[in-house]
Structure 1
Amino acid sequence: MRRILASLITALTFGAFGTKPARAYDMDCAIMLCMAGGFPSSAVCAAAYAEMIRRITPWPVRPPFGICTFAAVPVELGGPGGEGELDISIPEYAWLRKTRVLWFYGRSYEPRDDPRQWDWYVRSCDHENRNCRYHVRVYGSHAPWPARFVSENGQSISFPSSGGHYSFSHRAVMVEFGDYEGNMDHSEWFRY
């Protein structure tokens, strides 16, 4: 009986803590590969899209994807069997380098004895969140922000909807990305 009990405990221990099979790609590679296809409908791409959005929504925000180590995955696990990481500086990955993270901040207020005013800006950063600049910046306007703006990649993107009729402020973030054919797309705005 003790022998059976010891065997059962050993089997459960190794079953619970044993090694798991290696995945043929990491999440950063999944994000890049799914982005290349415009995030097609699949469980893997849905998880990759959710992870990309999860990375950009906390504060401070992280880049939407990191280093893809798919190049180092052995051939027997489905990888190319190379060394190191995927080099996205080559011309074949120009579409990936167009990825931008866009932040929106807008507020409306009524200064004492003055008509209602609006402030808003869109800040744009590259896929590494290193090269950032204000794409649109307006302060003290007597009209609300327009319905749309044109991004650095030439897309017409809707501003987030306004928050109400009285004093309000809100902020949101989105990812603008392209596929391997150069077609641009973007996520929805996520308020935070």
Structure 2
Amino acid sequence: MRRRVMAAAIGVMAALGAPEKARAYDIDCAIMLCMAGGFPPSAVCARAYRTMIRRITPWPSLPPFGVCTFAHVPVELGGPGGEGELDTSLPEYEWLNRTHVIWFTGQSYETRDDGRKWRWSIKSCDRENRICRYIQRVSGADRPWSETFISEGGQVVKFPSRGRGEFYTRGILVEYGDYEGNMGHSEWFSY
């Protein structure tokens, strides 16, 4: 009996005192890898998804992700162990410069004299949200927005779904390009 109690106590101490698993990548790498796979169900991708959404939903938003540099990986795990800056103006990082955060705001409302009206805007910002421009900006339209629009990256992107009756909706998506120049985008995230 004493041996069982002692074994159980050692087991509990070992479990509680076990160090956390070392992560051999930073969160930016996790976001990029999980986004490429459509954020498959896993603890790592769930954390990456939450981090990306936390970065892009406040205004002004933070960049959805940076460069996957392994900058914070300790030397013992094969990383640089530092926090060096990376020159993203180099040609091999052109894909990162094609990343845009696209903001959508849409509203339907009833007027006394003119009936139902719609207003919406699509704004595209660079990956750091420093430079933004409107792709579309419509106010007082007699009909709702169309099904699609053309993004800054030349993609045909579907608008978020419309509500019925009076409504106000906001959404955000991330448009990105890979190192070969292929463009893609995330789904709309409502906030």
TM-score with structure 2 setting the length: 0.78
1:25-65 superposed Cα distances (whole Å, 9 cap, x missing partner): 11112223455xx3367647744652354225643443212
1:103-124 superposed Cα distances (whole Å, 9 cap, x missing partner): 1111112211113211000122
Q: Does 1:181 align with 2:177?
A: no
Q: Does 1:125 align with 2:87?
A: no
Aligned to 1:31: 31
Would the aligned equivalents of 1:34 and 1:48 in 2 still touch at CA under 8 Å? Answer: no
Following TM superposition, by how much is the alpha carbon of 1:10 offset from its aligned partner in structure 2, in angstroms?
Answer: 8.2
**In 1, Cα distance between equivalents of 2:21 and 2:48:** 23
Aligned to 2:107: 107
Q: Does 1:152 align with 2:168?
A: no
**In 2, Cα distance between equivalents of 1:150 and 1:92:** 26
Would the aligned equivalents of 2:26 and 2:71 in 1 still touch at CA under 8 Å? Answer: no
CA-atom RMSD in angstroms? 3.3
Higher relative contact order (CA 8 A, sep 6+): 1
CA distance 1:57–1:94, change in 2 (3 Å): closer
CA distance 1:41–1:32, change in 2 (3 Å): closer
In structure 2, stretches of 5+ residues that fail to align are none
Following TM superposition, by how much is the alpha carbon of 1:139 offset from its aligned partner in structure 2, in angstroms?
Answer: 0.8
Aligned to 1:161: 161
Say which SS state the counterpart of residue 135 (structure 1) adopts: strand
CA distance 1:20–1:48, change in 2 (3 Å): closer
Would the aligned equivalents of 1:125 and 1:132 in 2 still touch at CA under 8 Å? Answer: yes
Say which SS state the counterpart of residue 188 (structure 1) adopts: coil
Following TM superposition, by how much is the alpha carbon of 1:16 offset from its aligned partner in structure 2, in angstroms?
Answer: 2.1
Query: Which stretch shifts more, 154-163 or 20-29?
Result: 20-29
Would the aligned equivalents of 2:108 and 2:118 in 1 still touch at CA under 8 Å? Answer: yes
**In 1, Cα distance between equivalents of 2:137 and 2:86:** 34
Would the aligned equivalents of 1:23 and 1:77 in 2 still touch at CA under 8 Å? Answer: no
**In 2, Cα distance between equivalents of 1:45 and 1:153:** 29
TM-score with structure 1 setting the length: 0.77
In structure 1, stretches of 5+ residues that fail to align are none
CA distance 1:41–1:147, change in 2 (3 Å): closer
Following TM superposition, by how much is the alpha carbon of 1:102 offset from its aligned partner in structure 2, in angstroms?
Answer: 1.1
